[in-house]
Amino acid sequence: MSASTARRYVVARIHEIPPGARKIVTVERRQIGVFNLDGEFFALRNRCPHQGAALCDGRLVPTVSASAPGDYELGGRTLLQCPWHGWEFDVRDGQSWSDPGRLRVASYKVSVERDDDGRVKGPYKAESYPVSVEDGDVVVEMG
Amino acid sequence: MTIDCDVHGRVPTMEELVPHLDSYWAAYVEEAGPGVPAGIAAVYPPGAPATGSPLGGATLEELGAHLDRLGASAAILNCVFGLEGLRNLDYASALAGAVNDWLAAEWLDRDPRLRASLLVKAEDPAGAAREIERRAGDPRFVQVLLPARSERPYGDPSYLPVLQAASAAGLPVAIHFGGFTGNPPTPVGWPTYYVEEYVGMAHAFEAQLTSLVAGGALERLPDLRIVFAESGFAWLPSAMWRLDKEWRGLWREIPWVKTLPSETIRERVSVTVQPIDPPPEREQLAHVIEQIDCERMLLFSSDFPHVHAADFGEAFAGIVDADFQRAVVAENARALYGL
Amino acid sequence: MRNEIVDSDVHNTLATNDLLLPYLPERWAREVERYGLRRLDSIGFFATRPRRFAARTDAWPAGGVPGGDIDLLREQLLDRYPIAAAILNPINQTTIGAQQPLFSEALCRALNDFTLAEWIERDERLFGAICVPMADAGLAAAEARRLGSHPRMVQVLLNVRSREPLGTRRYWPLYEAAVEHGLPVAVHVGGHGGNLITGAGWPSYYFEDHAGYPQSFQSQMISLVFEGVFERYPDLKIVLQEGGFAWMAWLMWRMDSAWERFRDEVPHLERAPSEIVREHFWFTTQPIEEPQKPHQFGQMWDDLAMPDKALFASDYPHWDFDDPDRALPSALDAETKAVVLGGNARALYPKLAGARVPEGAAG
C-alpha cells in the first residue's frame, strides 16, 4: 500500500503503553488493540475472526512446546488468546498458528504455508495494522 | 486378491490350551478347572444373531471355505479371549502365550493364508512386552490385539510399554470390538440389553481414539500404527471434527499435540470396514467417505462369521472408484502389514 | 432485520453454595456448612481445565463469578442480541443433582427457588428448568410436580453422567411426572453418577473429558430408545444439551441396523430407533460442529434431517460459547436459521408464547 493513501492516526503517547501493556482505541469506527511487546508496537483489530469476540481483551501468553507429557517448555513468542474459545494469534501479524513440529502434512491439504520453524499457518487471521513511533507518539496506519 | 483384515476362528477350550501352558499353570488349570474367561461370551453371546456361530467363531474348514469364496490371499484372525477381565496378571499373560501358541499350531500352521493378531495382557506391561518380543520373529503374527473396552484408555501412560514393544517389533496395535473388565461398559453405567452394548461399542472406540491423540503415545512412538477393528467407520468424521475443535482451544493442556488431531489420525489410524451400518441413502455413505478423506485408512474385512447388514461390495458399489476399491480390498492392508 | 432468538441454554451460576443457605431448611443448611457437597461433578477431577469456571475470560463481573450477575448477563447477552427468551439451566445443578438423595432434594428445591426469586422474576426474558435429584426418581418426580405448572419453568433438568443409563426403569417415575405437566426433560453436560466417564476407563486430560461428552450422550440416546421409554411414555420429549449433534445420523443408522438383527431382544420396540429419535429428541446447537471444509456441515445437516429439532444455544458464559450472530454457519439458509434461532424452541416450549424481544432492544 502506498504512503499517499494511508491514513495515519496518533493513538497514544509512548509512555501510555509500557512494555507488556496494551491500549484499546477506536479509529475510523473500528476498535483496535495496540500492544507493546518489548518496546515494539503492534496493532490488531479488536475482533476475533472466529466468532467476533473482543480479541484484544484476551490474555497474552507465551508459546509452549513439549515433545512428550512431562516435558514442558515455555517459548519466546507471544500469542494473544481470544477470551472466548481460547484460539491464539501471533500479536505481530494476527496470524493464527498451529505448531506441527516435524510431522508431515497430510496430502489432502490444498495449500500450506510454513515459516522457517516449520510451523503451519492456521486458516484464521486477525486484522493487523502497521504501527510506528514518531517523536514520542504511537501512530497507527489505516488504508 | 483380497486381504480380509478381521475374521474369527472358534475360541480354544481350556483343555486345548493346557499343552501350551507351563507346568505350574497346566497343573493349576487341571486342578482348579477354570473355564475360558467369561468376557468371551459376554461380548459374543453364542446364541446372539450377530455372533454367527455357537462356537463363537468358525472352524478351520469353514474359514477355509470362506477364504476360497472371497478369493482371499490372506486373512487376519482376531481371537477375542477376554483377558482384560482377569485380575491375576501372571495367569492372564500365561493364557495369552498359550492362545498364541495354539493359534500358530492349529490355524497358522494349517492354512498358509492365515495370519493372526497377537494376544497380550495389556495390564501386565512387562509380560505383554515379553510376549511381543517372543513372537516378533514370526511374520504370521501381524499386529497386537487389544480390546476396545479397557481398564484405562490406551493413551494412558501405563500402556506405553505395550505400545512401545509393538512399535519396536514393527507391529500395529489393533483395538477390537469387545472388552469385559468388570467396569460398566458405558460412561453412564450398565445398559440392560446386549443390543445397547453392541451399538454403543462405538463410544468406546471414540474414547480410545481421543486418548491416543491426547496422551502422547503417537508423538513418542512415531512409527506406531493403530487399527480399529470391528468398529465401523461412520463415527470417524464427527469424532475428528470434535477433536480438532477442542484442540484449537485446549492445546495448552496437551502441548505435545502439535497439529490438528485429524491430521495425525489420517496418518496413523486405520479401520476395518465392518460393521457397515448402511444409511437410508447411498449418497450419505458417500458423504462419510468424503468426510473421512483418507483412502489409505479403510481396510476390507468380512468379520466372518459375524453377521452384518451389508457387505463391502454392495454397500460401496457406485460410490467409490475402482482404485479406491482396490486400495481397500488389498493394497492398504498390504502396505500396513507388509503382506 | 435480525431474527429473534430463544437461547436454549444459559447458565446462571452460584459462586458458592452459601447463597442457598437462606433457601434451605436448617437441617440441610447445617449439612452444607459443616460437611459440604462431597460428591463432585466429574469436571472436578480435571483441574487442568484451562478456564476458570469454564468461562469466557471477559464474562467476569466485578466482585463476582461468570454467570453470577444478572446485569452482566443483560449487558453481554440479553440486551446485546435480540433475545425474546433465555432458558436458565443453573450450572450448579451438575453438582447439586449428584448429591445423596435427600440432600440433593433439599438443594434442588433451594436452587429452583433461588433461581426463580433472584433471576427469573427479575427479567421477563428469563425462563427456567426444574433441577431435580439424579439419584432418586421419586424425589425428582415430587420436585418436578411442585414446580411443573409454574408459568416460567419450561422443562426438567437432568445431567448426562448418570448412575445408570437414563432409559432404565429407575428413572421412569420422573418421566411420568414430566409428561403429566407437559414438560420436556433436558439432559445437560455434567454430573457424576459414580461411573468411570468412558467405557474404557478414566482419561487423564480435560481435553478428553470435554471432547468425550458425546460418548455419554450416545449411551443415553441408545438407552432411552432401546428400553422402550417412549413406548411407555409416548408424549415424552428429550432435549440433549451441549452434546454436539454430528454423531446423531450415524448413530441412528447403527441403531436401525442393529435393531434389524436384534429385534428379538427388544420386542417392546414397535418402531425403528431412528423413527423414535426423530419424534422424541431435540438438541441444542452449541458447541456447534466446525468441519475444516464448511460444506461438510451442510452434508451432515442434511443427512441428519432434523431441522425442526435444533435449538440454538449460546451456553453463556462458558468458554465454548456460540455467538448468536456468528455461530450458525452459512451452510444454513435464512429460513433454517430463523427456526433454529427461535421457532423450534417456541414450538417445543408452549410457555414461551408470551415472550418477546423488548421494544427498542437490539435488533
pTM score > 0.80 for this model?
yes
Sorting pLDDT into bands at 50, 70 and 90, what band is A127?
A: confident
Question: Does residue A111 have a pLDDT over 60?
Answer: no
Nearest neighbour of A58 by CB, restricted to C57, C292, C321: C57
**CA pair distance C315, C67, nearest whole angstrom:** 10
Fold held by B2-337: TIM Barrel (3.20.20)
**Within the 172-191 window of chain C, which residues sit less than 8 Å (CB to CB) from chain B?**
none
Sorting pLDDT into bands at 50, 70 and 90, what band is A122?
A: low
Best to test chain C binding among A61, A84, A85, A121 (most C CBs inside 10 Å): A84
Site of grid cell 499457518: A121
Nearest CA in chain C to B185: C199
pLDDT digits (tens, 9 = 90+) for B41-82: 999 999 999 999 988 899 999 999 999 999 999 999 999 999
Taking the Cβ of residue C269 and every Cβ of chain B, the question of whether any pair is shorter than 8 Å is answered with: no
pLDDT for residue A106: 23
Subunit contact B150:C195, Cβ cutoff 8 A: no
Beta strands (DSSP E) in chain B are 2-7, 72-77, 114-119, 141-147, 173-176, 226-229, 269-272, 298-299
Taking the Cβ of residue A120 and every Cβ of chain C, the question of whether any pair is shorter than 8 Å is answered with: no
Question: Does residue A108 have a pLDDT over 60?
Answer: no
Subunit contact B258:A98, Cβ cutoff 8 A: yes
pLDDT for residue C279: 98
Provide the shortest C-alpha distance from residue C190 to chain B (in Å): 11
pLDDT for residue B259: 87
Contact C12, C119 (CB under 8 A): yes
- What values do phi and psi take at B169, rounded to 5? -85, 0
Beta strands (DSSP E) in chain C are 5-10, 83-88, 126-131, 153-159, 185-188, 238-241, 281-284, 310-311
pLDDT for residue C362: 66
Question: Does residue B152 have a pLDDT over 70?
Answer: yes
Average pLDDT (B178-202) is: 98
Q: HSE, CB side, 13 Å, CA atoms: give it for residue B327.
A: 13
Subunit contact B267:A106, Cβ cutoff 8 A: yes
Interface A–C counts its CB contacts (< 8 A) at 32
Provide the shortest C-alpha distance from residue B223 to chain C (in Å): 23
**CA pair distance B168, B231, nearest whole angstrom:** 25
Provide the shortest C-alpha distance from residue A63 to chain C (in Å): 15
Give domain status of residue A2, yes or no: no
Number of separate domains in chain A: 1
**Tens-binned pLDDT, residue by residue, of chain C (363 aa):** 689 999 999 999 999 999 999 999 999 999 999 999 999 999 999 999 989 999 999 999 999 999 999 999 999 999 999 999 999 999 999 999 999 999 999 999 999 999 999 999 999 999 999 999 999 999 999 999 999 999 999 999 999 999 999 999 999 999 999 999 999 999 999 999 999 999 999 999 999 999 999 999 999 999 999 999 999 999 999 999 999 999 999 999 999 999 999 999 999 999 999 999 999 999 999 999 999 999 999 999 999 999 999 999 999 999 999 999 999 999 999 999 999 999 999 999 999 999 999 987 765
Residues in chain C closer than 8 A to B187 (CB atoms): 161, 195-199, 212, 215-216, 219
pLDDT digits (tens, 9 = 90+) for A41-86: 999 999 998 899 999 999 999 999 999 999 999 988 889 999 999 9
Give domain status of residue A65, yes or no: yes
Taking the Cβ of residue A51 and every Cβ of chain C, the question of whether any pair is shorter than 8 Å is answered with: yes
More confident residue, A100 or A73: A73
Best to test chain B binding among C43, C196, C240, C268 (most B CBs inside 10 Å): C196
Fold held by C5-354: TIM Barrel (3.20.20)
Give the domain CATH number at A80.
2.102.10.10
Subunit contact A84:C327, Cβ cutoff 8 A: no
pLDDT digits (tens, 9 = 90+) for B88-137: 999 999 999 999 999 999 999 999 999 999 999 999 999 999 999 999 99
**CA pair distance B44, B24, nearest whole angstrom:** 30
Angle, alpha carbons C188-C284-C217 (nearest 5°): 45
Average pLDDT, chain B: 97
Taking the Cβ of residue A105 and every Cβ of chain C, the question of whether any pair is shorter than 8 Å is answered with: no
